């Protein structure tokens, strides 16, 4: 389905949205706008007058099939760096860790212990009152207890702890992939218990994960999307970063650059690649998918002089650009390669 975002100075911005969506491309400002609006919109931000001045005082909207998406349509979680994961691991209301622990507390018999704790608090208050002796006229100053509830145990008296082998370690020293797996395991427990739609947004995952860790986390996200129909995720790789590309999700890879497009069906794209390639030295399907992953963030962009790609990937880049009627020659020095490819890449439109 399509998600359309209102924009204060441009035409509406539309992306192809599925359960596993990725957004790449060289238009950093517009990608940031989409990321920020998603968070503001579904997190219930109250807009100030200066926020709305560019929108002619109308609140920005996100639409699907020309219908405005409700601002409470999704419960949103956003991770843009390691600090966000750390915050999600705290027992702060609204965090994944808080929801996870609250559900676990419901399965543990703690009411007798809570009652005993409240009795002890009342005894302490009684002893304090006995020694206050603060009275003015007929009015006395005393103290009383606030009854301890299960929620308060989490927010005030419990903190997360992490063991590594026989050592207690700070969460900051937990491996970054492991941090994310703790987070996703807790989120999965929530998805098992509730049917409300959840939108998880990742920004710059590749800033703090190796490629193998990134790929592994994306596989886990893909599995969760397949298992829980109410779960959606959007990944914003950093500039020139990683991309998780499979035939099943390729149509939900959006490229935000001088044009805003999304990939077509993989079989169709591979057929077009084979029909357009200037020689018989074509990539097989697996290698073509790998090449698409490398060139995706550079599509529909005229400023590509700084990038370093193989001749094979530059060829893929030009073929895919042409598929979307984006015409550009490749301004690079090409040495010792197939003469037909040299002619093809240097030929402008």
Taken in order of first residue, the domains within the chain and their CATH numbers are 2-90+176-253 (3.40.50), 105-155 (no CATH), 264-346 (no CATH)
The enclosing H or E element of 84 equals: helix 82-89
Tell me the per-residue pLDDT of 141-163, one tens digit each, with 9 for 90 and over.
999 998 888 888 888 888 888 98
> What tokens appear for 61 in the block?
């909207």
**How much is the pLDDT for 336?**
62
- For the chain (length 349 residues), average pLDDT per consecutive 10? 87 93 94 93 76 64 90 94 92 92 85 90 93 89 89 85 86 91 96 95 91 95 97 88 90 96 96 93 94 93 81 91 87 66 72
pTM to 2 decimals? 0.86
For β-strands 62-64 and 198-203, DSSP reports them as unpaired
Tell me the per-residue pLDDT of 217-251, one tens digit each, with 9 for 90 and over.
999 999 999 999 999 999 998 766 689 999 999 99
Question: In angstroms, rounded to a whole number, what is the distance separating the alpha carbons of residues 182 and 154?
Answer: 18
**How much is the pLDDT for 52?**
60
Question: In angstroms, rounded to a whole number, what is the distance separating the alpha carbons of residues 30 and 58?
Answer: 20
**How much is the pLDDT for 51?**
60
**How much is the pLDDT for 239?**
64
Q: Which residues pair with 331 in a beta bridge?
A: none
Question: In angstroms, rounded to a whole number, what is the distance separating the alpha carbons of residues 244 and 349?
Answer: 32
């Amino acid at each position: 389905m399509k998600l359309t975002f209102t924009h204060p100075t441009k035409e509406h911005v539309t992306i192809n949205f599925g359960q596993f969506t990725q957004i790449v491309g060289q238009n950093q400002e517009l990608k940031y706008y989409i990321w920020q609006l998603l968070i503001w919109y579904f997190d219930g931000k109250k807009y100030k007058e200066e926020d709305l001045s560019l929108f002619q005082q109308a609140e920005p909207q996100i639409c699907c099939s020309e219908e405005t998406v409700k601002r409470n349509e999704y419960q949103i979680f956003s991770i843009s760096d390691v600090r966000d994961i750390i915050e999600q691991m705290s027992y702060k209301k609204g965090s994944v860790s808080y929801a996870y622990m609250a559900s676990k507390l419901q399965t543990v018999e703690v009411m007798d212990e809570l009652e005993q704790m409240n009795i002890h608090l009342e005894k302490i208050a009684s002893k304090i009152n006995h020694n206050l002796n603060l009275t003015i006229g007929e009015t006395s100053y005393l103290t009383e207890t606030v009854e301890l509830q299960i929620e308060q145990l989490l927010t005030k008296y419990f903190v997360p702890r992490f063991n590594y082998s026989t050592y207690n370690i700070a969460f900051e020293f937990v491996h970054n992939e492991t941090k994310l797996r703790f987070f996703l395991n807790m989120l999965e427990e929530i998805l098992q218990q509730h049917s409300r739609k959840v939108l998880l947004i990742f920004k710059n995952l590749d800033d703090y994960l190796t490629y193998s860790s990134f790929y592994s986390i994306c596989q886990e996200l893909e599995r969760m999307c397949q298992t829980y129909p109410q779960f959606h995720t959007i990944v914003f790789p950093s500039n020139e970063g990683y991309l998780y590309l499979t035939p099943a999700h390729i149509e939900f890879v959006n490229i935000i650059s001088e044009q805003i497009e999304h990939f077509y069906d993989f079989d169709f794209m591979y057929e077009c690649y084979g029909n357009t390639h200037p020689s018989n030295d074509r990539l097989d399907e697996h290698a073509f998918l790998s090449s698409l992953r490398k060139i995706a963030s550079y599509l529909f962009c005229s400023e590509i002089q700084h990038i370093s790609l193989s001749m094979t990937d530059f060829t893929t880049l030009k073929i895919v650009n042409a598929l979307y009627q984006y015409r550009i020659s490749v301004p690079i020095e090409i040495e010792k390669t197939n003469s037909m490819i040299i002619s093809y890449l240097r030929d402008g439109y």
